[in-house]
Amino acid sequence: MTVESVKPATAEAPELREPPLAGGRVPLLGHGWKLARDPLAFLARLRDHGDVVRLRLGPKTVYAVTAPDLTGALALSPDYIISGPLWESLESLLGKEGVATANGPLHRRQRRTIQPAFRLDAIPGYGPIMEEEAHALVERWTRGEVLDVTAEAFRVAVRISARCLMRGSYMDTRSERITSALATLFAGMYQRMVVPLGPLYRVPIPANREFNRALADLHRLVDEIVADRRASGQKPDDLLTALLEAKDENGDPIGEQEIHDQVVAILTPGSETAGSVVMSLLHVLTEHPDQVDKIREEVKNVVGDRPVAFDDVRKLRHTANVVVETMRLYPAVWILTRRAVTDTELGGYRIPAGADIVYSPYAVQRDPRSYERHTEFDPDRWLPGRSPELPKYAMTPFGVGNRKCPSDHFSMAELTLITAVVANAFRFEPAPGSDNRTRIGITLRPRRLLLRAVPG
Ligand code: HEM
Residues 320-353 have pLDDT tens digits of 999 999 999 999 999 999 999 999 999 999 999 9
Angle, vertex CA 353, rays to CA 351 and CA 357, nearest 5:
55
Comparing 295 with 30, which gets the higher pLDDT?
A: 295
Provide the domain limits for residue 377: 3-454
pLDDT in tens, 368-407: 999 999 999 999 999 998 877 899 999 999 999 999 999 9
Find all residues with CB under 8 Å of 332, minimum gap 6, and list them: 272, 273, 274, 276, 277, 280, 397, 443, 444, 445
- What is the position in ligand 1's atom list of the atom closest to the CA of 165? 28
Model confidence at 7, pLDDT cuts 50, 70, 90, reads very low
Find the 399 Cα to ligand 1 centroid distance in Å: 8
Find the 306 Cα to ligand 1 centroid distance in Å: 33
Question: In residues, how long is the chain?
Answer: 456
- What is the position in ligand 1's atom list of the atom closest to the CA of 412? 21
Find the 272 Cα to ligand 1 centroid distance in Å: 10
**Amino acid identity for residue 23 in this structure:** G
Share of the chain above pLDDT 70, in %: 94
CATH number at residue 379: 1.10.630.10
Residue 74: C-alpha distances to residues 331, 336, 394, 403, 407 (Å)? 19, 11, 14, 11, 21
- State the average pLDDT over residues 150-177: 85
On the question of pLDDT at 198 being above 80, the answer is no
Find the 206 Cα to ligand 1 centroid distance in Å: 31
CA-closest residue to ligand 1 atom 5? 405
For the Cβ of 405 lying below 6 angstroms from any atom of ligand 1, the answer is yes
Find the 404 Cα to ligand 1 centroid distance in Å: 7
CA-closest residue to ligand 1 atom 1? 405
Find the 405 Cα to ligand 1 centroid distance in Å: 4
Comparing 454 with 188, which gets the higher pLDDT?
A: 454
In the chain, the number of structural domains is: 1
Three-state DSSP at 55 gives strand
On the question of pLDDT at 453 being above 90, the answer is yes
Find all residues with CB under 8 Å of 304, minimum gap 6, and list them: none
Nearest alpha-carbon partner for 406 in 242, 221, 215, 196: 242
Residue 446, CA atoms < 13 Å, CB-side half-sphere = 27
For the Cβ of 351 lying below 6 angstroms from any atom of ligand 1, the answer is no
CA-closest residue to ligand 1 atom 28? 270
CA-closest residue to ligand 1 atom 22? 270
Find all residues with CB under 8 Å of 171, minimum gap 6, and list them: 162, 163, 225
How far is Cα 292 from Cα 284, in angstroms, rounded to an integer? 9
Model confidence at 177, pLDDT cuts 50, 70, 90, reads confident
| Count of CB atoms situated within 10 Å of the CB of 362 | 24
For the Cβ of 266 lying below 6 angstroms from any atom of ligand 1, the answer is yes
Find the 342 Cα to ligand 1 centroid distance in Å: 26
For the Cβ of 178 lying below 6 angstroms from any atom of ligand 1, the answer is no
Model confidence at 170, pLDDT cuts 50, 70, 90, reads low
For the Cβ of 273 lying below 6 angstroms from any atom of ligand 1, the answer is yes
Find the 425 Cα to ligand 1 centroid distance in Å: 29
- What is the position in ligand 1's atom list of the atom closest to the CA of 402? 38
| Count of CB atoms situated within 10 Å of the CB of 87 | 18
How far is Cα 197 from Cα 200, in angstroms, rounded to an integer? 6
Model confidence at 169, pLDDT cuts 50, 70, 90, reads low
For the Cβ of 275 lying below 6 angstroms from any atom of ligand 1, the answer is no
For the Cβ of 403 lying below 6 angstroms from any atom of ligand 1, the answer is yes
